[in-house]
Structure formats: C-alpha cells, structure tokens
C-alpha cells in the first residue's frame, strides 16, 4: 500500500498522467502526505529517517523483523528484478513468534468450539492458552527493554511502531471508502482491498493478492497483540474462560465478546492469507508463514516468506 501511494505521488507531482486535481481536498491531501511522510527534514515523531537510517522502509522492516521475526511479503520497488530491499536484519529477533502465535490461535479456536459443544470430548486446555499468552507477552516485552509499558515513549521500538501505525493508518483511511482521492483516481469499489488493487494497477504496482484478508484482520490483530503485550486480561484464567463462551447464545455485549470476535476475525483471515489451517492445526502449523502473492509485474519482486528465506519461482 505504501509503495503504491509513493508511486502515485511521484507520478502526480512530476507529470500529469492522472490529470490535475480540481479539488482542493485532493491537492491538499497529496501535499500534506508528502510533508508528513516523505521529507527528511521534518522534526515530527512520524519521521524515522536520518543520516544513520536514511531509508524509512528499511527501518520499518527492521522493526517488523525484531518484533515478529517476519519479513514483508514483497520486495522493494526500486530493486532489480528478483531482488529485495536490503536492510539491517537484527541478530536478536522474535523468530519464534509465528509458531507461538499460530499455536495460540489454534488453542483459542479449540476452546471456542468446545465451549459451544453440549456433548463429546473437550479438546481445549485453558492452561496451554494462558501459557502461550504469557510466552507471547514475554518475547514482545523483551524487545522493548522493560517489563512494563508505563513509559512507552521511552521504550525501544516505540517510535518505529508509532510511525508505522500512523503511516499505514493514514493511507488505509483514504481507501476505506470512496473518498475524494479514490474518486479522483476513478478507483471506486465496495471493499478496501479492491480499491487498493485498482489504484495499484493504475500506477503500475500490483497490490498484494491477499490484501483484503490482511486489511480485515489488521485491526483485530492489533487489539489482540496490544492486549497481550500489556498483560492482565488474555493471560487470566477466569477472563479467558468467560471469553471462550461469550458468543454462546444468548450473546450479551461485553468486552470478552469483543475479544472473541477479534480472535475469530484473525483466525479466519489468517487462514485465507497464509493457507495455514489454524482450525485443524495438525495439518500444517510449522513455524513459518508465506502470504501468497501473484507473479511479479514490472519491478515487483518475487515474494518473500515471512521467515526471510527466498521463495523459489515454483512456489
């Protein structure tokens, strides 16, 4: 998404391929986006570029690797065909995150379906769920350099996280509906993923083929991971028991029901995006994730699996 919009700005500001915006809303949004995210001299907290770290995307990828042991599923638009963006891949990274998180989602699913069963064997284990939640919290907190988040702004990776969330939220919002920018590009649609695909095709950078599933689980995944990192809710026995049964009829609106809905959103869309059968974990939970992408077009690279090893052209 960010590469697509960067290319859109480049084309708009140096040429008239898309015409000239007759709306001050569109023009001001383009100018403000450039000032916020594509200038080195801004003192804003959104800026994570400097003489030491000149490439903002490389800085974001470094943070993703350190926190989640995951690469983005595509290369850099300026790289040669078949290449990928070079960035500093930290030696200390949560490379166990994927398998822990998939096991956690799988145990949550087992607990959910067993909470809805009126007969038969119960294959859920609340102790395993709590243990996995605590392990996930420990590895996330370890990258912060502190056991509490009371001084979040002063913890490691906080600025990188804030910048990444701010930037992706800014651009996701503009395609969340048929906004003036979407209308200017004539890329209207009923879904956020389809709008991004249309814009990507227009600027010459194809959007990720699984972008709709990624968008749909992004907010729910953020809520779950933030809650895990803070601690005290999802690693509590009684709260977890209540959550797993919170969607049983009659459903009463509650915080636990909201968390359960978020888990189901992540589980369903994680399966769609990765092909991993979280609901039948014996099938293929192996500790690596590959978010499948279409074949490269123009300068888009062969996709990378999120464990950082190149995918062969036959994958």
Tell me if 292 is assigned to some domain: no
Write the pLDDT tens digit of every residue in 1-43: 999 999 999 999 999 989 999 889 999 999 999 988 887 665 5
Domain with 200, as residue range(s), is 2-274
Residue-level pLDDT at 35: 87
| pLDDT over 90 at 68, yes or no | yes
Tell me if 216 is assigned to some domain: yes
Tell me if 300 is assigned to some domain: no
Contact 312, 78 (CB under 8 A): no
Tell me if 170 is assigned to some domain: yes
Q: How many domains does the chain have?
A: 1
pLDDT band at 58 (very low <50, low <70, confident <90, very high): confident
Q: What is the DSSP string of 196-233?
A: HHHHHHHHT-PPPTTHHHHHHHHHHHHHHHHHHHH-SS
Residue count (the chain)? 315
Percent of the chain having pLDDT more than 70?
Answer: 78
Residue-level pLDDT at 284: 53
Tell me if 21 is assigned to some domain: yes
Tell me if 310 is assigned to some domain: no
Tell me if 228 is assigned to some domain: yes
Residue-level pLDDT at 48: 73
Residue-level pLDDT at 9: 95
| pLDDT over 50 at 314, yes or no | no
| pLDDT over 80 at 226, yes or no | yes
Write the pLDDT tens digit of every residue in 160-218: 899 899 999 999 999 999 999 999 999 999 999 999 999 999 999 999 899 999 999 99
Tell me if 309 is assigned to some domain: no
| pLDDT over 70 at 258, yes or no | yes
């Amino acid at each position: 998404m960010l590469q697509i919009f960067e290319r859109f700005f480049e084309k708009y500001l140096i040429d008239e391929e898309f015409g000239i915006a007759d709306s001050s809303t569109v023009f001001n949004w383009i100018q403000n986006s450039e000032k916020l995210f594509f200038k080195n001299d801004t003192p804003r907290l959104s800026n994570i570029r400097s003489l030491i770290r000149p490439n903002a995307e490389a800085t974001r990828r470094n943070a993703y690797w350190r926190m989640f042991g995951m690469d983005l599923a595509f290369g850099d638009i300026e790289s040669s065909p078949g290449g990928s963006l070079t960035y500093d891949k930290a030696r200390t990274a949560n490379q166990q995150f994927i398998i822990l998180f998939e096991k956690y989602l799988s145990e949550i699913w087992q607990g959910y379906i067993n909470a809805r069963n009126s007969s038969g064997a119960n294959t859920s284990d609340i102790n395993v769920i709590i243990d996995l939640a605590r392990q996930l919290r420990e590895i996330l907190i370890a990258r912060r350099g502190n056991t509490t988040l009371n001084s979040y702004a002063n913890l490691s990776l906080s600025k990188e996280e804030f910048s990444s969330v701010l930037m992706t939220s800014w651009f996701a919002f503009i395609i969340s509906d048929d906004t003036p920018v979407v209308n200017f590009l004539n890329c209207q649609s009923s879904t956020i993923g389809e709008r991004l695909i249309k814009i990507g095709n227009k600027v010459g950078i194809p959007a990720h083929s699984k972008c709709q599933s990624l968008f749909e689980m992004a907010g729910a995944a953020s809520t779950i991971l933030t809650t895990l990192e803070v601690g005290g809710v999802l690693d509590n026995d009684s709260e977890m028991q209540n959550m797993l049964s919170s969607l049983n009829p009659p459903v009463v609106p509650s915080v636990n029901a909201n968390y359960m809905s978020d888990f189901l959103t992540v589980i369903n869309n994680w399966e769609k995006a990765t092909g991993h059968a979280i609901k039948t974990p014996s099938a293929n939970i192996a500790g690596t994730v590959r978010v499948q992408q279409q074949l490269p077009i123009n300068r888009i690279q062969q996709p990378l699996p999120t464990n950082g090893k190149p995918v062969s052209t036959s994958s």
